[in-house]
A and B are shown apart, each in its own frame.
Chain A
Amino acid sequence: MTVPLTPPIRPPSPRASTQAPVDVHADSLHAIADHLSQLNSQITRLSQAHDHVISALRSEPPPGVSRLDWIARMLNEEN
């Protein structure tokens, strides 16, 4: 007796025909929204770090404090 190499094709489920059609447009828009939200959160984190470092570099140390110490102090302050 020969054994079939491929499994038999399952007939479509009778429930499938009663389900609402999948809205491919809506699905693609959800995927875009997820992707954009991921991009946005990466950019937000990068911007926070950028703004924090730039403002520390731009601030002037008070007299008697070295610039290196001042920048370190500014960076160590919470955002």
Chain B
Amino acid sequence: MRFFEPAFVPTPKEIDRAKLPSSHVFSATKAHFMELARKEHRELTLPEHREIKEKVLIYLTDLLTDLRHKAEETSRVPGADFEVLRTMLAEHALHPHAYEDVGIFLNEKSQLHALAIDTIDEFLIQQQSIESIDAEMESASESVAKQREDRHAFIQGEMTFWQYAGKA
């Protein structure tokens, strides 16, 4: 398949058409612009850098959404089931791989919280970085402002959720 040939770097339009997961969209967009800059013996331009960073934000948004779904799913597990799992861990009734999975699951709340905080921190750093690129480009158009507002609203919602989840 042409898309996966190592020498072939898809263009942003081809990447959009391929409907890839956001992690792949970020990598493919980064590879495209870096290859272009390499061929033309120059550094990345601000608009290229901005476009790659926009893809990072979409990727981070998806990561946070996944984490939140996991947290919501775990909150629906009955307390009795947690007791069953703790009993199994205490009695060593499990194979090592299952023992590890149950250990991760029982500690999931704190791990999810730590991962979400890390993702939010990265999100805020990237958002700030895009804003400084926008300022450099002096092209804060209406759509850019709208995107920024949407991102602020999303991250505010996530911060409130994870602050509450951390205390609960």
Contact residues of A with B, CB < 8 Å?
A: 21, 23, 25-26, 28-29, 32-33, 35-36, 39-40, 42-43, 45-50, 52-54, 57, 67-68, 71-72, 75-76, 78-79
> In the docked arrangement, what's the CA distance between A76 and B93, Å?
9
Structural contact, A75 and B98, CB atoms closer than 8 A: yes
Chain A residues lying within 8 Å of B102, measured Cβ to Cβ, are 49, 53, 75
What are the residues of chain B within 8 A of A26 when measuring CB–CB? 34, 37, 43-44
What residues of chain B lie closer than 8 Å to A78, measured between beta carbons? 97
- Contact of B122 with A53 in the complex, beta carbons under 8 Å: no
A–B complex contacts, Cβ < 8 Å, 18 sampled: A23-B44, A26-B34, A32-B56, A33-B30, A40-B23, A42-B115, A46-B111, A49-B101, A49-B108, A50-B70, A50-B108, A52-B101, A57-B81, A67-B84, A68-B87, A68-B88, A71-B84, A76-B94
Residues of B at the A interface (CB closer than 8 Å) are 23, 26-27, 30, 34, 37, 43-44, 49, 52, 56, 59-60, 63, 66-67, 70, 73-74, 77, 81, 84-85, 87-88, 93-95, 97-98, 100-102, 104-105, 108, 111-112, 115, 118-119, 122, 126, 129
Cβ–Cβ < 8 Å partners of A35 in chain B: 122
With A36-B23, A36-B56, A50-B74 already in contact, the answer to whether A71 and B88 are too (CB < 8 A) is yes
Q: Of the candidates A29, A36, A49, A72, which one forms a contact with B93 in the assembled complex, judged by CB atoms under 8 Å apart?
A: A72
Complex contacts, A76 vs chain B, CB 8 Å: 94-95, 98
> Which A residues are CB-close (under 8 A) to B98?
52, 72, 75-76
Task: Quote the shortest CB–CB distance from A21 to chain B (angstroms).
Answer: 7
Contact for B52 among A29, A53, A72, CB less than 8 A: A29
> A28-B129, A29-B44 given. 4 additional CB < 8 A pairs?
A32-B122, A36-B59, A47-B66, A53-B101
Nearest A residue to B52, CB-CB = A29
Knowing A26-B34, A36-B26, A53-B102, say if A43 contacts B77 (CB, 8 Å).
Answer: no
Interface centre among B37, B81, B87 (most CB of A within 10 A): B81
A23 to B45, CA, bound (A): 10
Q: Which of A48, A52, A75 has the most CB of B within 10 A?
A: A75
Q: Are B44 and A25 in contact (CB under 8 A)?
A: yes
Within the assembled complex, what's the spacing in Å between the Cα atoms of A47 and B30? 26
How far is the CB of A28 from the nearest CB of chain B, in Å? 8
